[in-house]
Structure 1
């Protein structure tokens, strides 16, 4: 009981830093993946103009690939888009033109758009973009609600799946309602993102480098979320490979994931690996730096007095 409560307190240490890092590192790649994950929608065509034909040509491979890997997933198209009028186009363009740093304005225009045009073909993009905006502004509960609406509209939106999968278990605390159910949802979202992302076709408007970086960021977030789900369930042996994948794939490694990897290894009695992970966390500028230094020393002491478990 004592060690469990300590772990709980340590998980809370630097939670603000966790969220802030998550917000920053996901933004650019997440928006790039968004553009490819809903390729073929009218919103993507609106933004690309002459490339809309290419987007349409890329749809069959996406459907075929998704069907072979996730037979119950909805294709990334809107079957019968509602007609678009000039006023709706202008409202959508105004929303898209808001600088990414002006979160309040982006949220204001996005919510107004969804309310005024409830049948718009642009709603998948608006909801997915709002999900990111709410995350960046620290409105986690609103982010989760909006993200789940985005998933209802576009079940294969890997960006939103990964964001939800990572953020839900990080946001859990002692007052969270039905934490077991929340962890189940996070597990489902993360696993689906991990399954779908590798099969996504590259859209013509992205370079190979940008596409690979976006996919790796999405996968890193999804593996991080799944790893934390296992940590919270006390399944440390299962958490370790997920967190290892996360830090391996992440273009901008998150100290939170090194911290979680260190904690999972320590709980699994892999003390040398715990020291390595905590030391990497301690070497990165974040609110977890001091905590990770302390944890690295603790793991060293445990390794000197206890037998390490076989891998």
Structure 2
């Protein structure tokens, strides 16, 4: 029972650490064009002659200012609304530690202004807040809405891919479709990451770290989808990338890497992964140690597959 109580706490701590890092980078304009879009539109509403500082969405090739708002609605840009601007400012000013208030103000803003210019950053922040408060279905729903508006947001794509892959099982409605969606999101994040331009105000190290955090989640999500489809050999390089990019690898990824290697009779690699998982303090230590011991016994009676 003690182990069961500790696991949710550990997972929440890991999610907080990851999401704080990703959120800081995204709001800075590293991974998500939506925040820059909202700022640009806000600037247009208050300084119609100074819109040149805005940054258009990455997928837009038109240099004019008008396309900046087209992802939000099929019609023209919504009219300036001082109350809407104030509502977004109040939402943005809520500390990231006050998740309930963040969710309350975000949901109110979306309900009151369903075509708000601020939907992308609000949806993104709600995705993170729902994840941190274990409201998985709400997180998935609002995350889908966010990536529909900002298709090049690799952060949300990766978070959704990993979450869907880890929460989908045989009893999940439309499980096959959910896993397909997770794979699509993960592959898209992996494909887009190398194409993102580095903002001038960020160091290469900071920018790379931000992209890597998204790539870790994307590779992990794709790897687990492959395992659930029985494609363990294909899953191995995905988890290898996830642990390689992570300065503090998630034991879950080492465990899954071990299981994929064990299932394909790569016993030495499986034992190495399980041992690294077992070396990390936490509730998975015993399970990883047991898998390492079992794999050693298995390797004594079965031939290892060639690499």
CA change 1:254–1:241 in 2 (3 A) is same
In the alignment, which of 273, 277, 302 is matched to residue 277 of structure 1? 273
Distance of 1:18 and 1:221 partners within structure 2: 17
Please give the per-residue CA displacement for 1:251-295, whole angstroms capped at 9, x wherever unaligned.
331111001000000001001000111111111122211111111
Does structure 1 residue 227 correspond to structure 2 residue 223? Answer: yes
Does structure 1 residue 98 correspond to structure 2 residue 91? Answer: no
Distance of 1:81 and 1:248 partners within structure 2: 44
Q: Could you state the TM-score of these two structures normalised by the residue count of structure 1?
A: 0.84
State the 1:168 CA deviation.
0.2
CA change 1:64–1:90 in 2 (3 A) is closer
Distance of 2:249 and 2:203 partners within structure 1: 22
Please give the per-residue CA displacement for 1:67-108, whole angstroms capped at 9, x wherever unaligned.
xxxxxxxxx943353233222111111111111111111111
In 1, are the aligned partners of 2:220 and 2:253 still within 8 Å (CA)? Answer: yes
CA RMSD of aligned residues (A): 2.6
In 2, are the aligned partners of 1:39 and 1:203 still within 8 Å (CA)? Answer: no
Aligned residues: 285
* Aligned residue number for residue 43 of structure 1: 38
Distance of 1:248 and 1:84 partners within structure 2: 47
Distance of 1:99 and 1:292 partners within structure 2: 37
In 1, are the aligned partners of 2:158 and 2:186 still within 8 Å (CA)? Answer: yes
Which aligned pairs between 1:52-201 and structure 2 lie closer than 5 A?
Answer: 53-56=52-55, 59=56, 62-63=58-59, 77-79=68-70, 80-201=76-197
In 1, are the aligned partners of 2:279 and 2:285 still within 8 Å (CA)? Answer: yes
Q: Choose 239-248 or 82-91, whichever is displaced more.
A: 82-91
In 1, are the aligned partners of 2:59 and 2:152 still within 8 Å (CA)? Answer: no
* Aligned residue number for residue 73 of structure 2: none
**Which segments of 5 or more consecutive residues in structure 1 lack a partner in the other structure?**
1-11, 66-75
CA change 1:64–1:152 in 2 (3 A) is closer
Distance of 1:239 and 1:174 partners within structure 2: 19
In 1, are the aligned partners of 2:158 and 2:217 still within 8 Å (CA)? Answer: yes
State the 1:54 CA deviation.
4.5
In the alignment, which of 299, 302, 307 is matched to residue 306 of structure 1? 302
State the 1:175 CA deviation.
2.6
CA change 1:52–1:228 in 2 (3 A) is farther
Distance of 2:298 and 2:9 partners within structure 1: 27
State the 1:154 CA deviation.
1.3
**Which segments of 5 or more consecutive residues in structure 2 lack a partner in the other structure?**
62-66, 71-75
CA change 1:256–1:172 in 2 (3 A) is same
Distance of 1:162 and 1:19 partners within structure 2: 17
State the 1:164 CA deviation.
0.7
State the 1:16 CA deviation.
3.9
* Aligned residue number for residue 4 of structure 1: none
CA change 1:22–1:44 in 2 (3 A) is farther
Distance of 1:225 and 1:137 partners within structure 2: 20
Distance of 2:256 and 2:68 partners within structure 1: 37
